[in-house]
Amino acid sequence: MTVAIYSSTSRTKGVKYAGSKLRLLPHILKLVRQTGAETVLDGFSGTTRVSQALAADGVRVTANDTSDLSRVFAECFLTAKPREGRYAKLIESLNRLPGKDGWFSEHYGGDPASPESIGPDGLKKPFQLHNTRRLDAIRDEIDRLSLSRCERSVALTSLVLALDKVDNTIGHFASYLREWSPRSYGDLRLEVPRFTRTIDGHEVLQEDAADAAERTPADLAYFDPPYGSNNAKMPPSRVRYGAYYHFWKTVILNDRPELFGKAKRRKDSADDANYSPYEDFRFAPDGEFVAVNALRDLLSKTSSRFVLLSYSSGGRATRRSLEAVMRGCGDIVAAVEVDLRRNVMAEMSWTKEWTREGGAPNREYLFLLAR
């Protein structure tokens, strides 16, 4: 059976993010509703769009991800009291600050008068100088003010969302566009994030997914781990979230880290730092991908009655190995394939071929497991 996807007019907020499940939200919500789950662990929450949508749907959510970006977004959208009026004064005062030269401008700002996004150091830049100068002023002010944890996360979320609208990237910070993108000429303007009223009691964690799964007794665990790439020649570091989104970490921490390389990445986003087994697409001694073994370990530690697993056709794991991991965890009670190009979904019979080795491109899969 093939069903046209209704266009998602979701109210969730997020930045451009590799593997974001924005377009899959209707399918994820449908499958979660089918289980009747009242509590959900979002183990790799990323932009937190899935967490936000589940919370808006009446579910109590635990959002977990190792990234600072995800933690701050989750604190803003899940645990801050949704009182827009209370934050309006803060956001307006940040918007009124005049720009100033500072650390961000020195490393990430380029001259808009030149058609190429080259900075004084000869490197391509992710933002125009007028916006990094505003960033320098606003980010220092957020540290100077005595804000509660929630207010701080609301201000940082608003700053990140505003920066994402005026960037000069193709969606990550591993390299930058040579010619200024049209949106990079815009002015940085913070807005109070739009909140959705939800039940209380959501939780935010920032730890390894397996640790979070072990200590979170949720009815359902949703796992959307990094997939790597099925291009075997691509070095694993190219698909690491820490390397792609180092800039957001620096905006959140404002810690002026040591930088390296043409994209001026944080030193702690280098290949030998910030290791996650889910992002390791080398082979383990047993002949399996390290990432697939990590998934097996994760599922064995998860106590939830239901597990919903996302997988992308561009990922490195093979059908056989994923199938074995899932069968070891429970029964596959539903499987959905979504063709993102044609915007259609199909409910799959589990016995049918669900991915061609080598990759049927632009397909996303959702597997609902019960035990």
Ligand X SMILES: C[S@@+](CC[C@H](N)C(=O)[O-])C[C@H]1O[C@@H](n2cnc3c(N)ncnc32)[C@H](O)[C@@H]1O
Residue indicated by tokens 């390397």: 243
**336: which strand partners?**
347, 366
Residue 210 Cβ, how far from ligand X at the closest point, in Å?
Answer: 7
Shortest Cβ 65–ligand X spacing (Å): 5
Binding of ligand X at residue 21 (CB under 6 A)? yes
Shortest CB 265 distance to ligand X, Å: 15
3-state secondary structure of 316: coil
The residue (of 279 and 337) whose beta carbon lies closer to ligand X is: 279
Distances (CA, A) of 314 to 79, 93, 231, 358: 34, 44, 8, 8
Residue 17 as a binder of ligand X (CB under 6 A): the answer is: yes
Binding of ligand X at residue 314 (CB under 6 A)?
no
Cβ 121 to ligand X shortest distance, Å: 29
Give the three-state DSSP class for 132: helix
Tell me: does residue 251 bind ligand X (CB under 6 A). no
Q: How far is CA 160 from the centre of its chain?
A: 13
Nearest by Cα to 252 from 41, 2, 82, 75: 75
Q: At 133, which helix (H) or strand (E)?
A: helix 129-144
- Backbone φ, ψ for residue 210 (5° rounding): -65, -40
Residue 39 interacts with ligand X (CB under 6 A): yes or no: no
Query: CA 250, CA 255: separation in Å to the nearest integer?
Result: 6
Neighbour count for residue 264 (Cβ, 10 Å): 22
Stretch that binds ligand X, among 13-21, 83-91, 187-195, 358-366 (CB under 6 A): 13-21
Q: How far apart are CA 77 and CA 302, in angstroms?
A: 25
Helices and strands, number each (H, E), in the chain: 12, 13
Which of the residues 263 through 282 are near ligand X (CB under 6 A)? 276, 278-279
Q: Is 248 in the site for ligand X (CB under 6 A)?
A: no
Segment near ligand X (CB under 6 A); pick from 12-20, 90-98, 169-177, 324-332 = 12-20
| Binders in 212-231 for ligand X, by CB under 6 A | 224-226
Residue among 208, 219, 297, 339 that touches ligand X (CB under 6 A): 208
Q: How many residues does the chain have?
A: 371
**By CB under 6 A, residue 296 contacts ligand X:** no
Least separation in angstroms between residue 20's CB and ligand X is: 4
Q: Is 298 in the site for ligand X (CB under 6 A)?
A: no
Pairwise CA distance, residues 201 & 156, whole Å: 22
311 binds ligand X (CB under 6 A): no
Cα 270–Cα 76–Cα 149 angle in degrees, nearest 5: 85
Kindly tell me which residue out of 52, 62, 66, 355 binds ligand X, with binding defined by CB under 6 A: 66
Q: Does 12 bind ligand X (CB under 6 A)?
A: no
19 is an interface residue for ligand X by CB under 6 A: yes
Instruction: Kindly indicate which of the ranges 66-74, 123-131, 178-186, 341-349 contains the residues binding ligand X, using the contact rule CB under 6 A.
Output: 66-74
Q: How far apart are CA 302 and CA 323, in angstroms?
A: 17
Is 49 among the residues that bind ligand X (CB under 6 A)?
yes
Residue 241 in the binding site for ligand X (CB under 6 A):
yes
Closer CB to ligand X, 48 or 128, in the complex: 48
Cα atoms in the Cβ-side hemisphere of radius 13 Å centred on 234: 16
Which residues contact ligand X by CB under 6 A?
17, 19-21, 44-47, 49-50, 65-67, 70, 208-209, 224-226, 241, 276, 278-279
